Amino acid sequence: MADPTLTGSDQSRRYFAFRDLMLGLYRDQLATAKQLCMAGDLIYGDESLFSLYGLTASELAARDFNILGRTVVEASIDAHVDALAMQFQNLMGMQAEPELRPGNKGQGAIFDLFCGSGNISYHVGCRLGCPVFASEMDPSVYKATLHNLSLLRKTSKSTVPVNFQLFLTDYRKLLANLPTDPHPTDIYIIEPPWGPAFTDAGLDLTQTSPSVKDIVANIRRSRRGVPCYIALKTTDHIVPVA
């Protein structure tokens, strides 16, 4: 648990020091159980809060899940994505047309453009029963996530969404070769690398690589006028756009 004797500035320094290590020296190394717990403490305020795929930090380590250093910092934890998945479930359930509701033939798909751990699309896909198509450019992250999805398929408690396909490619190539026709309940998950876009001042969405503006523009071009849903990962501090 976070040390209550530390000031906010102390906690911030510890977080950024940890973040720099995990995105730098330990970027492509497998994280230890201790590092996963540290992430829970420094990023979320309690070491028990770091969990992915429905598994705690100790369970991830004990079951040989491959969580890279960069993924420790970049991944969205279960507590956050569970809430998002439930919001989508409620939203889809409110659609007036029965054919647009989850579980019906002709429903949409989930497109995870910067897959990383795949934890967001994994939870949303499981809850909605939608196929998932994901792209990831980093070979190390791609390999680790394929390994983790393989382990999840063997776990009786978890069911990987049917037709969860992960491609080692740029998100623009995925958009240019969508495996399904555009559907009004398609969901696009946007989580580009923050890198230098995230500082003490907050997250500057114009400085992610690629920028959110460019990503949305590319999605719109691929949709041919068909509406969709977009989920964008941010933080609670956003740098105002001038």
- pLDDT tens for each residue of 208-240: 778 888 999 999 999 989 999 999 876 666 655
In angstroms, the CA 166 to CA 152 distance is: 14
Q: Within a 10 A sphere around the Cβ of 127, how many other Cβ atoms?
A: 19
Domains of the chain with CATH codes: 8-74 (no CATH), 78-232 (3.40.50.150)
User: Are β-strands 187-190 and 229-232 bridged in parallel, bridged antiparallel, or unpaired?
Assistant: parallel
Whose tokens are 């069911």? That residue is 159
- pLDDT tens for each residue of 86-130: 999 888 875 544 444 444 455 789 999 999 999 999 999 988 888
Q: Which residues of 38-66 are buried (b: 16+ CB within 10 A; e: fewer)?
A: bbbbbbbeebebbbbbbbbbbebbeeebb
- pLDDT tens for each residue of 5-51: 344 567 788 888 998 999 999 999 999 999 999 999 999 989 899 99
> pTM to 2 decimals?
0.83
Round the average pLDDT of the chain to a whole number and report it.
84
